[in-house]
Amino acid sequence: MEYQIVIAGFGGQGLLFSGKVLAYAALMEQRELSWLPSYGPEMRGGTANCNVIISDSPVGSPIVQNPNVLMVMNTPSLDKYEKSVAPGGKIFVDSSLVSRKVERTDVEVTYIPATKMAGDMGIPTLANMILLGAIVKATGCVGDEAVLAGLKKIVSAKHADLLDANLAAMQAGKDYLA
């Protein structure tokens, strides 16, 4: 199974970071992967996205054309990517920020009020990780142990407290699905 993942929203929501967590987790599992961010002025307050591919064979194009996993954290991103999702794909929507429902009927949609949940938990900047927790659980694209090992690579020892916050956020996302 090749996971073709698009993570999209506003710049500053931690989208590239979410993708990095998946990328590092895949690295820990010795799998093939690519991580491609959007770059340029759009990252500052405009829309931003990143493409992550996790595969068991070498990755061809790092550009995701038809994602089978889509995470959206604003309405413009849903507008932009909804049509591109592969039939049977999974869409994860931050329903605190996205004002409409997904129109496609041939995809699996999960609505999570991630931004509201993150605010209630006192970690308002980690809504991205709540969604990511749900993605990891629902798709099994990477394993829990690999996510932990990957997170440890990205979050420096200096910010060890943030590691716990990130894990708590991901757990909240998993629990929401249950």
Q: What is the contact surface with other proteins in residues (CB under 8 A)?
A: 20, 23-24, 27, 30, 32-37, 39-40, 59-63, 65
- Please report how close the Cβ of residue 146 comes to other proteins at its closest, in angstroms: 13
Q: How far is the CB of 33 from other proteins (least distance, A)?
A: 7
CA distance linking residue 124 with residue 153, whole number of Å: 23
Q: Which is nearer to other proteins, 33 or 71 (CB)?
A: 33
Helix ranges restricted to H, the chain: 15-28, 75-81, 114-120, 127-139, 144-154, 160-177
In terms of CB distance, is 18 or 115 closer to other proteins? 18
Query: In this structure, are strands 32-37 and 3-10 parallel, antiparallel, or unpaired?
Result: unpaired
Residue 164 Cβ vs other proteins, minimum distance, rounded to whole Å: 23
In this structure, are strands 69-72 and 108-112 parallel, antiparallel, or unpaired?
unpaired
Q: Which is nearer to other proteins, 37 or 113 (CB)?
A: 37
